[in-house]
């Protein structure tokens, strides 16, 4: 029991971290909470389903194209909705909140109420050390998710893009003086945030099929992870995701399956009460 | 402007409010049962939007837990009525107090950080509430909803209309009094600049907590009344959909303006009655309207009206 | 007023999580109105259906019902697939004195409240559990069963009835609740696997069931244990197979419709006109349930010879009509859920190589349980 | 002894403040006598504003004690300190931009006199605006003011809290020499008519020389010297650290 | 090299600069003096593209740079050491310097530049892995100057060079600036009037958003009014 609970906690934790990565990035750089994060995730799931199933595209190509389209869509949303709200972070929250409801209902009209699932990459399950059986698609999602997370970390730590993102998040005006076009960077990073939501979407859709409203719980856990880990801290995002995954699964294993998600919130409240800025957060001046 | 003129103007304003209220109070006698129901729902949303506006519009705290507090009011009142056989009116009072209490707790937890933390924590709070309502099926009857007695012995739309009218007037009066009192000055000062406010003797945390608690209590009252009107309390009262409606109404009416939420509540509720026939399109249309207004007219309908009047009769600076 | 139509209201979810049901209802409505109006309509007028969205939420359902009655002035209301919404609606129906025929909401209290204006032409929880599930468990001689309940009124309610039935039959069981919105059932499944049951009675609705079936296969609970989908439709949804893959094989479900076995001639006719109208075979049996309900309503209106509510209730009580699922008669004995209730026959069907094999009842069986 | 304590309106003992590695103040002792105008000068980053912030309760000292009229007010929150009778202005002005000037000032009034009525605070706030010459702009939103007007509004707001000690942080910035003369007269007037005690940070040495009775010189978080203006400007250490030769 | 003609600048709705004109020739070192809030930083901001002028024009090497965004102005070869240093607190000294070289993004140029900065401020080499925010005030100011130099600017704008610096460090930095004179033109804002005048060829004096005087530094230094107003003598 403990073994599978921990294993599942880690897998789900990585999945949570992956889903929260985009939110964390956008909060960190732009101080904008993208409430419609879950809907971008779902959109990518739908696209990868459409391309792979209806158009019969190669799986990898379908996924890449889906992420690319959501990225462009993210750029558009930044341009039309988010950009005018810079400096008023609460207003962007209101706008993206409304956007999320609009998208949910648009999906319902376009894709219908039934769940959609792109084909799995692998089939079957693996026997883990003779302890328990574990779905292969989940293991694949774990690997893919870890790759995306490592990729994002590498990008942030090692490339110019990461450097200017970090600089901009610390001092936007100064970055501008150093020659960074922060307007374009914002657009790009919002797009990237959406693309990360999309990456999570295409990786997870074969495990958890997408429905018009399935984005809500995704976004909700992403927010919990981000607040838990500390606003805008990527490291916090990973630790937050893993903490949440483990707490929920161990709680479900030993306490109550019905209250699984409440355990996560309880941890969140405890952390906030003790460290108001989250595990890795900095208190804003 | 001289003192006298301003008193005159405020008297005229009061007179207008009074006359409008009187005219509105006789309206249901001229309408059918169905439209009476629509008016009652409008009044419910007026209470919700006006009280949400108190925190969002006047102190700049975007709470996503407003519907949750309405839910707490409704469930506490309903459970007391069903399980303890309490008079529903006592239940409404208890529900209001309970909502205030939870508002205070949530406020204490996250008002220190303010801003986005408050938004996300209230969101989490409303989710916890949902899970608890679903799981504690024995007490809350889960999604099936808790059937509760009405507030009056014989069911009549007209009497509910007046109950809700009184509720809305109470809510609006409290909001108006608060905003136009010394505390209201503090609300605005805190929203503008916390540090400067505290240097002028404003207890920032208490001011915010006060706004949050009062607003939660008012939501609790609205929720409790609504539960007894529907005679059924379901997890839909504290849902995100409901929160979305309240937020849209306030934003479309005019965030931070006194009449904005009232206008927003009436416009959107009546609009939604009309476009309901469009079935699955109606929420989408709703959202799009809200999105366009929020994006292009951040001050809502009230802002549009003011800008239009300002253009017609340019203010002398 | 003078109007050349008679309006009947339908309530059901067209938006929200169960919007699929609304779609099925719409199909049923289309076929039924065509059918009724082609036969001369009701009281020599055309039958018109007004569909009100409830979004699956009780409060919306109650106000939607009220809207149908007060704004659209319908003579009767049909429909609903959420027990919670139906329970809210019956209060309104009773208050306003509007006949209301519930179609696919299973909670016992809907008819157990013995409201004069409330009828049910569809399954009830106790009906499904006692007439179908318990008997099937006994017939298959399962030694141990697991009960999985989603934490909704329906899930928890039917699980409780099942526990009672298992107690009575002396079959040991383990009950596990699961969160309705949860996508990940590994922990629940691990607990079940440790219990090692012969059958899992899964009261999980919608996509949740798809997750459950697929993950049960992954953790190796199935195929050793047989899953019975207590709600029927999710196993028939068009996306069932894409979602569950090979793990769907051998899964069982309760349904009132089978792709081959038809109990009446009207059912065959329904299937034909469905395929003509929509270019595919009917999957969600709720379209047929709605079709039946409209036929029953039209019949009652014609027999009543008026749209007066009292007369309609009397006419409904005297219903004796054969619809797609058999002959309809409503119970008239007060005191239990059988009052104003017609329980249609239900089948237990197993997927065997993507073919539907009827296992139960024995008289309709087309094959044996495979494990 | 008692009389002597009475004279010290505010007194700091051993005030130390570290920001992480930055030692902003170390072991600062100072006192301000009732009814005087005391200048606080020193190079940028000497810790003057930090000292203000500590006295005003905006930040807590790492160690040390602040006494006001003999009462220990160390670590009190800003609003309590204000209600106790200490008002301050901000070096970078912080008006409530979306409120009118009258309302800006009213915030100060209502928190010092809770429960006062609208008519009362309107009158009191108007009077404070009058004092700084902003009466005509009472109904203007504060964000429309220019810099000098904003500084005056800061002073009006501070006066509205009926302080006994008024702390001014560089209120002369942006004024020309003529205006500086007027401002100095105004500040001396405040002391004389309202019986205020004033602690004043300013880089304009002329004004400090003219208006103050005592000058405290801070340098790198330490008191460099304290004395009459004339003593201070002639102190070679002050010339070296702050005035330049 | 730099020509500022008749610019008006607003911050929000308040005007902070009125009709400012000035010129800087290549290789020159020019000081801007003035009391607090006189508008010196606003002028620097206007040149660097942070505060677009509402009227007037700014030309750099014959091209108009007014109306361009800050990041574009930077690419013309202008670098600003802003008021308050503004080092990236959570990035290491090295990364801070690299950000200075973002305009070119060529690793070789960046390495070279970094060597030059380290030669100029040896203490930074010792601290290169330390986070910017943990440096002492003086070191932060050195870092800010070093970062500006990383882009190899033709015109270096320095706002409040000596702000918060101990006099000794101020002197060191002035000496360093003097050493740069061959390549770089410097326009600097300074509170320490004496220091500024003795390390510049020309100076402008600003009051309440206007330029009130200008002239050669030695002349101004000898001026009694100025000595009284700014040196408190
Ligand atoms: N919040 C803070 N975190 C870290 N260091 C700080 C903080 N606030 C001030 N300091 C540092 O403390 C020192 C003293 O600052 P303070 O603002 O008191 O100086 P000041 O004497 O008022 O200078 P000025 O004349 O420029 O206003 C400075 O070196 C400053 O960098
Ligand atoms: N962000 C801002 N918003 C509005 N007004 C500002 C802002 N920053 C500065 N000001 C005002 O603009 C005027 C010019 O400021 P600026 O910073 O350019 O002056 P300065 O000469 O550099 O002063 P200092 O010596 O304090 O650095 C000042 O009166 C100041 O109060
Ligand atoms: Mg200072
Ligand atoms: Mg400056």
Cβ pairs bridging B and C (under 8 Å): 84
* pLDDT exceeds cutoff 60 at D3: no
Q: Which residue of A has its CA nearest to C220?
A: A133
Identify the DSSP state of A120.
P
Domain total in chain A: 1
Element (H, E) at C104: none
The percent of residues in chain A predicted with pLDDT above 90, rounded, is 8
Best CA proximity match to B266, nearest among B279, B253, B282: B253
Mutate to test the pocket of ligand 1, among E138, E164, E190, E192 (most ligand atoms within 8 A of CB): E164
- List the CATH number of the domain containing E212: 3.40.50.300
* pLDDT exceeds cutoff 70 at C208: yes
* pLDDT exceeds cutoff 80 at D33: yes
Q: What is the rounded distance in angstroms from the CA atom of residue B58 to the CA atom of residue B210?
A: 12
Q: How confident is the model at residue C234 (pLDDT cuts 50, 70, 90)?
A: confident
The confidence score (pLDDT) of residue B7 equals 57
- The radius of gyration of chain A from alpha carbons, rounded to an integer in Å, stands at 19
The confidence score (pLDDT) of residue D214 equals 92
| Nearest atom in ligand 2 to E35's CA | 25
Residue at B62 is within a domain: yes
* pLDDT exceeds cutoff 60 at C312: yes
**C121: which strand partners?**
C342
CB-facing half-sphere around the CA of B273: CA atoms within 13 A: 20
CB within 8 A of A100, min separation 6: which ones? A35, A36, A38, A39, A215, A216, A219
Residue at A114 is within a domain: yes
The percent of residues in chain C predicted with pLDDT above 90, rounded, is 34
The confidence score (pLDDT) of residue C55 equals 80
Phi, psi of A162 (to 5 degrees): -60, -40
Question: Buried (b) or exposed (e) across E187-207, using 16+ Cβ within 10 A?
Answer: bbbbbbbbbbbebbbbbbbbb
The confidence score (pLDDT) of residue A283 equals 46
Asked whether the beta carbons of D38 and D12 are under 8 A apart, the reply is: no
Domains observed in chain D = 4-85+163-243 (3.40.50.300)
Residues of C (114-173) whose Cβ lies below 8 Å from A: 151
A276: which chain B residues are within 8 Å (Cβ-Cβ)? 110, 112-113, 117
State the residue range of the domain holding E86: 26-51+70-230
Interchain touch C–D (≥3 Cβ pairs closer than 8 Å): no
Distance B190 CA to ligand 4 centre (A): 28
Q: Whose CA is nearest to atom 31 of ligand 1?
A: D45
Average pLDDT rounded to a whole number, residues D198-215: 85
- List the CATH number of the domain containing B237: 1.10.3470
Find the chain E residues whose C-beta atoms sit closer than 8 A to any C-beta of D: 12-16, 35-38, 133-134, 136-137, 160, 162-167, 191-195, 207-208, 228-229, 231-232
Q: What is the rounded distance in angstroms from the CA atom of residue B236 to the CA atom of residue C54?
A: 12
Q: What is the rounded distance in angstroms from the CA atom of residue E116 to the CA atom of residue E147?
A: 11
Q: Which residue of B has its CA nearest to D155?
A: B200
The confidence score (pLDDT) of residue C356 equals 85
Residue at B14 is within a domain: no
Chains that touch D (3 or more CB pairs under 8 A): B, E
What residues does ligand 1 touch, defined as CB less than 6 Å away? D 19, 22, 24, 42, 44-50, 91; E 137, 164
CB-facing half-sphere around the CA of D90: CA atoms within 13 A: 18
For chain A, helix (H) and strand (E) counts, in that order, are 11, 2
The confidence score (pLDDT) of residue D2 equals 43
Best CA proximity match to D206, nearest among D184, D186, D228, D232: D184
Q: Which residue of E has its CA nearest to D207?
A: E232
State the residue range of the domain holding A204: 2-274
The confidence score (pLDDT) of residue D38 equals 93
Asked whether the beta carbons of B244 and A99 are under 8 A apart, the reply is: no
Q: What is the rounded distance in angstroms from the CA atom of residue C244 to the CA atom of residue A117?
A: 9
Q: What is the rounded distance in angstroms from the CA atom of residue B189 to the CA atom of residue D205?
A: 34
Instruction: Kindly determine whether residue A176 and residue E71, on different chains, have CB atoms separated by under 8 Å.
Output: yes
Element (H, E) at A126: strand A125-128
Residues of C (314-333) whose Cβ lies below 8 Å from B: none
E53-109 pLDDT, tens digit each: 988 899 999 899 988 989 999 999 999 998 777 888 888 899 999 999 988 888 888
D124: which chain B residues are within 8 Å (Cβ-Cβ)? none
Chains that touch E (3 or more CB pairs under 8 A): A, D
Crossing angle of helices A2-30 and A160-170, rounded to 10°? 70
Burial of A127 (0-12, 13-18, 19+ CB in 10 A): exposed
* pLDDT exceeds cutoff 90 at C74: yes
Residue at A131 is within a domain: yes
Neighbours of ion ligand 3 (CB under 5 A): D 49, 91
The confidence score (pLDDT) of residue C241 equals 85
Residue at B196 is within a domain: yes
Which two structure tokens, joined as six digits, stand for B89?
A: 């009116």
Residue at E61 is within a domain: no
Residue at B155 is within a domain: yes
CA distance D223 to chain E (A): 15
Interchain touch D–A (≥3 Cβ pairs closer than 8 Å): no
Instruction: Kindly determine whether residue E35 and residue D174, on different chains, have CB atoms separated by under 8 Å.
Output: yes
Choose the closest CB to E13 out of D43, D143, D209.
D143
B109-151 pLDDT, tens digit each: 877 666 777 888 888 888 888 888 877 777 888 777 788 888 8
The confidence score (pLDDT) of residue B76 equals 94
Which two structure tokens, joined as six digits, stand for B124?
A: 């989490």
Mean of the per-residue pLDDT values for chain C?
Answer: 87
Choose the closest CB to A113 out of C19, C190, C211.
C19
What residues does ligand 2 touch, defined as CB less than 6 Å away? D 147, 174; E 11-12, 14, 16, 34, 36-42, 83, 160
Which two structure tokens, joined as six digits, stand for C133?
A: 């599930």
Asked whether the beta carbons of B59 and B51 are under 8 A apart, the reply is: no
Q: Which residue of E has its CA nearest to A282?
A: E90
Q: How confident is the model at residue C109 (pLDDT cuts 50, 70, 90)?
A: confident
Mutate to test the pocket of ligand 2, among E20, E38, E81, E205 (most ligand atoms within 8 A of CB): E38
Instruction: Kindly determine whether residue B232 and residue C53, on different chains, have CB atoms separated by under 8 Å.
Output: no
Which two structure tokens, joined as six digits, stand for D242?
A: 């702050």
Q: Whose CA is nearest to atom 5 of ligand 1?
A: D19
Asked whether the beta carbons of D213 and D187 are under 8 A apart, the reply is: no
DSSP for C304-335, please give it.
HTS--HHHHHHHHHT--EEETTEEE--B--TT
Which parts of chain E fold into alpha helices (H)? 40-48, 70-75, 93-100, 107-120, 122-126, 137-150, 167-179, 193-198, 217-222, 224-231
Residue at B304 is within a domain: yes
Residue matched to tokens 């949570």: A16
Choose the closest CB to C84 out of B32, B144, B231.
B144
Residue at A279 is within a domain: no
* pLDDT exceeds cutoff 80 at C18: no
Asked whether the beta carbons of B227 and B237 are under 8 A apart, the reply is: yes
CA distance B142 to chain D (A): 46
The percent of residues in chain D predicted with pLDDT above 70, rounded, is 89
Instruction: Kindly determine whether residue A260 and residue C151, on different chains, have CB atoms separated by under 8 Å.
Output: no
Asked whether the beta carbons of E57 and E64 are under 8 A apart, the reply is: yes
From first to last of the 317 residues of chain B, give the pLDDT tens digit.
Answer: 445 555 556 677 778 878 888 777 778 787 777 788 888 989 999 999 999 999 988 888 888 899 999 999 999 999 999 888 888 899 999 999 999 999 999 888 877 666 777 888 888 888 888 888 877 777 888 777 788 888 887 778 888 999 999 999 999 999 998 888 888 888 888 888 888 898 898 888 888 889 999 999 999 999 999 999 988 888 888 888 888 889 888 988 988 888 899 999 998 888 887 776 666 677 788 788 888 888 888 888 888 888 887 766 544 43
Question: Buried (b) or exposed (e) across A164-197, using 16+ Cβ within 10 A?
Answer: bbbbbbbbbebbbbbbbbbeebbbbbbbbbbbbb
Identify the DSSP state of D219.
E
Asked whether the beta carbons of A37 and A222 are under 8 A apart, the reply is: yes
The confidence score (pLDDT) of residue D180 equals 75
Cβ pairs bridging A and C (under 8 Å): 102
Best CA proximity match to B3, nearest among D122, D103, D140: D122
Q: What is the rounded distance in angstroms from the CA atom of residue A66 to the CA atom of residue A51?
A: 8
Whether residue A137 is preceded by a cis peptide bond, meaning omega within 30 degrees of 0, is no
Phi, psi of A269 (to 5 degrees): -65, -40
Best CA proximity match to E22, nearest among E35, E37, E11, E7: E7
Q: How confident is the model at residue C302 (pLDDT cuts 50, 70, 90)?
A: very high
Domain total in chain E: 1
Whether ipTM exceeds 0.85: no
Q: What is the rounded distance in angstroms from the CA atom of residue E211 to the CA atom of residue E9?
A: 13
Identify the DSSP state of E16.
E
Residue matched to tokens 């205020």: D196
The confidence score (pLDDT) of residue B8 equals 59
Residue at A282 is within a domain: no
Q: What is the rounded distance in angstroms from the CA atom of residue A93 to the CA atom of residue A78?
A: 13
Ligand number nearest CA of E35 is: 2
* pLDDT exceeds cutoff 50 at D174: yes
The CB-based long-range contact list for E24-27 (8 Å cut-off, 24+ gap) reads E24/E155, E24/E185, E24/E187, E25/E1, E25/E185, E26/E1, E26/E154, E26/E185, E27/E181, E27/E182, E27/E185
Strands (E), chain B: 146-147, 232-233
- List the CATH number of the domain containing A28: 1.10.3470
* pLDDT exceeds cutoff 80 at A116: no
Residue at B152 is within a domain: yes
Residue at B118 is within a domain: yes
The confidence score (pLDDT) of residue E204 equals 92
Query: pTM value?
Result: 0.81
Instruction: Kindly determine whether residue A182 and residue E71, on different chains, have CB atoms separated by under 8 Å.
Output: yes
Residue at A284 is within a domain: no
Distance E163 CA to ligand 4 centre (A): 10
Domain total in chain B: 1
Which two structure tokens, joined as six digits, stand for B228?
A: 């007894």
DSSP for A176-239, please give it.
HHTT--HHHHHHHHHHHHHHHHHHHHHHHTTTS-B-TTTHHHHHHHHHHHHHHH-TT-HHHHHH
> How confident is chain E (233 residues) per 10-residue block, as mean pLDDT?
90 82 90 79 90 90 89 91 83 91 86 88 82 72 89 88 61 74 79 78 88 88 75 48
Residue C285: CB atoms within 10 A of its CB come to 22
* pLDDT exceeds cutoff 60 at D176: no
Best CA proximity match to B258, nearest among B39, B62, B41, B50: B50
* pLDDT exceeds cutoff 70 at C232: no
Mutate to test the pocket of ligand 2, among E10, E17, E40 (most ligand atoms within 8 A of CB): E40
Choose the closest CB to D241 out of E164, E167, E193.
E167
Mean of the per-residue pLDDT values for chain B?
Answer: 84
State the residue range of the domain holding B239: 33-309
Q: How confident is the model at residue A135 (pLDDT cuts 50, 70, 90)?
A: confident
E102 in reach of chain A (CB within 8 A) = yes
Chains that touch C (3 or more CB pairs under 8 A): A, B
* pLDDT exceeds cutoff 80 at A258: no
C154-201 pLDDT, tens digit each: 788 889 999 999 999 888 999 988 877 777 888 888 888 888 888 899
**C202: which strand partners?**
C148, C229
Residue at E1 is within a domain: no
CB within 8 A of B73, min separation 6: which ones? B92, B95, B96, B98, B99, B219, B220, B221, B222, B223, B224, B227
Which parts of chain C fold into alpha helices (H)? 19-38, 58-70, 83-96, 109-112, 125-127, 134-140, 153-169, 186-195, 207-219, 240-244, 265-278, 286-304, 309-317
Distance D223 CA to ligand 1 centre (A): 15
A149-202 pLDDT, tens digit each: 999 888 887 888 888 888 887 888 899 899 999 888 888 888 999 999 899 888
E98: which chain A residues are within 8 Å (Cβ-Cβ)? 163
The confidence score (pLDDT) of residue E47 equals 93
Q: Among C14-18, C203-207, C210-214, where is mean pLDDT lowest?
A: C14-18
Residue at A61 is within a domain: yes
B150 in reach of chain C (CB within 8 A) = no
Report the sign of the C-alpha dihedral through residues C37, C43, C48, C54, in that order. Answer: negative
CB within 8 A of B61, min separation 6: which ones? B55, B111, B114, B115, B118, B119, B208, B211, B212
The confidence score (pLDDT) of residue E126 equals 81
Phi, psi of D36 (to 5 degrees): -105, 165
Q: Which residue of C has its CA nearest to A108?
A: C15
């Amino acid at each position: 029991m403990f073994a599978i609970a921990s294993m599942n906690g880690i897998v789900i934790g990585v999945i949570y971290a992956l889903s929260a990565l985009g939110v964390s990035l956008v909060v960190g750089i732009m101080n904008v909470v993208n409430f419609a994060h879950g809907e971008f995730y779902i959109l990518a799931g739908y696209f990868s389903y459409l391309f792979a199933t209806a158009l019969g595209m190669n799986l990898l190509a379908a996924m890449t194209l889906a992420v690319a389209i959501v990225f462009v869509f993210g750029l558009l949303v930044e341009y039309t909705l988010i950009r005018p709200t810079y400096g008023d972070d609460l207003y962007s929250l209101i706008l993206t909140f409304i956007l999320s409801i609009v998208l949910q209902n648009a999906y319902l009209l376009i894709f219908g109420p039934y769940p959609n699932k792109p084909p799995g990459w692998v089939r079957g399950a693996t026997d883990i050390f003779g302890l328990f059986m574990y779905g292969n698609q989940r293991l694949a999602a774990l690997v893919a998710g870890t790759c995306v997370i490592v990729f994002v970390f590498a990008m942030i730590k090692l490339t110019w893009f990461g450097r200017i993102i970090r600089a901009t998040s610390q001092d936007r005006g100064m970055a501008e003086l150093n020659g960074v076009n922060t307007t374009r960077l914002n657009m790009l990073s919002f797009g990237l945030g959406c693309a990360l939501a999309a990456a999570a979407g295409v990786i997870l859709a074969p495990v958890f099929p997408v429905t018009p409203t399935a984005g809500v719980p995704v976004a909700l856990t992403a927010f919990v992870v981000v607040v838990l880990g500390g606003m805008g801290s990527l490291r916090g995002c990973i630790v937050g995701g893993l903490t949440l995954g483990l707490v929920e699964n161990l709680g479900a294993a030993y306490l109550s399956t019905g209250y699984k998600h409440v355990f996560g919130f309880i941890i969140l409240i405890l952390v906030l009460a003790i460290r108001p800025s989250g595990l890795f957060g900095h208190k804003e001046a | 402007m001289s003192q006298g003129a301003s008193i005159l103007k405020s008297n005229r304003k009061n007179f207008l409010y009074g006359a409008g209220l009187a005219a509105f109070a006789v309206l249901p006698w001229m309408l059918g049962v169905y439209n009476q129901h629509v008016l009652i729902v409008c009044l419910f949303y007026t209470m919700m939007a006006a009280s949400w506006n108190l925190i969002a519009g006047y102190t700049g705290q975007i709470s996503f837990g407003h519907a949750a507090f309405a839910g707490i009011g409704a469930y506490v009142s309903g459970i007391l009525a069903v399980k303890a056989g309490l008079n529903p009116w006592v239940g409404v009072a208890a529900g209001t107090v309970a909502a205030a209490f939870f508002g205070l707790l949530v406020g204490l937890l996250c008002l220190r950080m303010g801003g986005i933390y408050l938004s996300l924590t209230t969101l989490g709070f409303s989710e916890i509430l949902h899970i608890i309502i679903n799981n504690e099926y024995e007490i809350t009857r889960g999604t099936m909803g808790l059937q509760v007695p009405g507030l009056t012995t014989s069911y009549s739309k007209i009497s509910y209309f007046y109950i809700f009218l009184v509720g809305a007037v109470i809510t609006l009066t409290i909001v108006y009094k608060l905003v136009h009192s010394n505390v209201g000055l503090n609300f605005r000062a805190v929203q503008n600049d916390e540090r400067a406010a505290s240097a002028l003797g404003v207890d920032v945390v208490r001011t915010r907590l006060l706004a949050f608690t009062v607003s939660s209590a008012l939501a609790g009252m609205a929720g409790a009344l609504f539960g007894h009107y529907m005679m059924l309390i379901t997890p839909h009262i504290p849902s995100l959909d409901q929160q979305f409606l309240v937020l849209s109404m306030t934003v479309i009416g005019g965030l931070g303006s006194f009449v904005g939420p009232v206008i927003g509540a009436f416009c959107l509720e009546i609009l939604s009655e009309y476009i309901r026939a469009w079935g699955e399109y109606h929420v989408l249309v709703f959202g799009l309207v809200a999105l366009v207004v929020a994006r292009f007219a951040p001050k809502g309908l009230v802002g549009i009206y003011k800008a239009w009047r300002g253009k017609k009769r340019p203010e002398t600076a | 007023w003078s109007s050349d139509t008679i309006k009947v209201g339908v309530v059901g979810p067209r938006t929200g999580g169960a919007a699929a049901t609304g779609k099925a209802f719409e199909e049923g409505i289309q076929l039924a109105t065509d059918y009724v109006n082609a036969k001369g309509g009701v009281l020599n007028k055309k039958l018109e259906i007004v569909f009100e969205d409830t979004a699956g939420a009780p409060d919306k359902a109650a106000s939607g019902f009220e809207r149908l009655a007060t704004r659209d002035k319908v003579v009767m209301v049909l429909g609903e697939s959420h027990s919670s919404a139906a329970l809210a609606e019956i209060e309104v129906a009773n208050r306003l004195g509007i006949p209301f025929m519930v179609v696919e909401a299973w909670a016992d209290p809907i008819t157990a409240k013995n409201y004069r204006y409330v009828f049910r032409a569809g399954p009830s929880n106790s009906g499904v559990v006692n007439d179908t599930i318990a008997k099937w468990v006994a017939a298959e001689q399962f030694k141990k069963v697991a009960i999985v309940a989603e934490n909704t009124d329906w899930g928890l309610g039917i699980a409780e009835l099942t526990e009672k039935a298992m107690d009575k039959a002396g079959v040991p069981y383990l009950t596990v609740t699961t969160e309705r919105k949860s996508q990940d059932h590994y922990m629940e499944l691990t607990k079940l696997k440790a219990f090692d049951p012969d059958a899992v009675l899964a009261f999980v609705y919608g996509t949740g069931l798809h997750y459950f079936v697929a993950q049960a296969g992954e953790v190796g609970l199935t195929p050793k244990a047989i899953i019975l989908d207590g709600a029927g439709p999710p196993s028939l949804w068009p996306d069932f197979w894409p979602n569950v893959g090979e793990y769907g094989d051998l899964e069982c479900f309760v349904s009132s419709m089978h792709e081959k076995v038809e109990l009446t001639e009207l059912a065959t006719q329904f299937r034909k006109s469905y395929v003509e109208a929509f270019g595919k075979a009917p999957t969600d049996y709720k379209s047929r349930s709605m079709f039946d309900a409209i036929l029953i309503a039209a019949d009652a209106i014609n027999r009543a010879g008026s749209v007066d509510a009292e007369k309609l209730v009397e006419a409904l009580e005297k219903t004796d009509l054969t619809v797609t699922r058999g002959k309809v008669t409503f119970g008239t004995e007060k005191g239990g859920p059988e009052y104003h209730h017609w329980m249609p026959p239900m089948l237990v069907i197993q997927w065997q190589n993507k073919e539907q094999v009827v296992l139960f009842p024995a008289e309709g069986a087309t094959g044996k349980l495979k494990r | 002894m008692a009389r002597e304590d009475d004279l010290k309106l505010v007194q700091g003992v051993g005030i130390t403040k570290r920001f992480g590695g930055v030692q902003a103040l170390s072991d600062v002792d100072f006192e301000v006598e009732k009814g005087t105008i005391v200048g606080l000068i020193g190079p940028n980053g000497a810790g003057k504003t930090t000292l203000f912030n500590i006295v005003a309760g905006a930040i807590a000292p790492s160690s040390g004690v602040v006494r006001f009229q003999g009462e220990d007010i160390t670590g009190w929150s800003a609003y309590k300190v204000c209600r106790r009778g200490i008002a301050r202005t901000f070096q970078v002005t912080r008006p409530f931009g979306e409120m009118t000037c009258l309302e800006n000032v009213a915030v100060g009034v209502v928190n010092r006199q809770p429960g006062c009525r609208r008519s009362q605070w309107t009158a009191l706030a108007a009077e404070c605006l009058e004092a700084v010459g902003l009466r005509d702009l009472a109904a203007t939103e504060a964000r429309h003011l220019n810099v000098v007007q904003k500084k005056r509004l800061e002073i009006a707001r501070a006066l509205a809290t009926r302080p006994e000690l008024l702390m001014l942080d560089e209120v002369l910035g942006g004024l020309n020499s003529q205006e500086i003369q007027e401002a100095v007269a105004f500040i001396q007037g405040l002391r004389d008519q309202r019986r205020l005690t004033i602690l004043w940070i300013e880089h304009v040495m002329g004004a400090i020389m003219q208006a103050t009775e005592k000058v405290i010189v801070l340098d790198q978080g330490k008191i460099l010297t304290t004395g009459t203006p004339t003593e201070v400007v002639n102190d070679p250490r002050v010339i070296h650290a702050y005035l330049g030769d | 090299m730099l020509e500022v003609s008749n610019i008006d600048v607003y911050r929000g709705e308040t005007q902070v600069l009125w009709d400012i004109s000035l010129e800087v020739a290549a290789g020159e070192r020019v000081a801007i003096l003035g009391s607090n809030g006189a508008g010196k930083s606003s002028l620097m901001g206007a040149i660097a593209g942070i505060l677009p002028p509402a009227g007037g024009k700014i030309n750099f090497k014959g091209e108009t740079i007014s109306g361009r965004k800050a990041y574009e102005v930077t690419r013309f070869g202008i670098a600003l050491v802003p008021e308050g240093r503004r080092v990236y607190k959570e990035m290491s000294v090295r990364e801070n310097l690299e950000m200075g070289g973002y305009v070119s993004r060529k690793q070789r140029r960046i390495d070279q530049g970094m060597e030059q900065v380290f030669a100029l401020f040896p203490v930074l080499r010792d601290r290169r892995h330390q986070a910017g925010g943990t440096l002492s005030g003086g070191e932060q100011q050195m870092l800010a100057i070093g970062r500006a130099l990383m882009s190899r600017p033709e015109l270096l704008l320095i706002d409040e060079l000596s702000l918060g610096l101990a006099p000794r460090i101020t002197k060191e930095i002035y000496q360093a600036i003097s050493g740069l004179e061959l390549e770089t033109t410097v326009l600097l804002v300074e509170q320490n009037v004496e220091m500024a005048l003795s390390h510049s060829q020309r100076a402008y004096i600003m009051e309440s958003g206007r330029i009130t005087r200008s002239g050669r530094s030695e002349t101004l230094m000898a001026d009694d009014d100025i000595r009284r107003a700014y040196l408190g003598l």
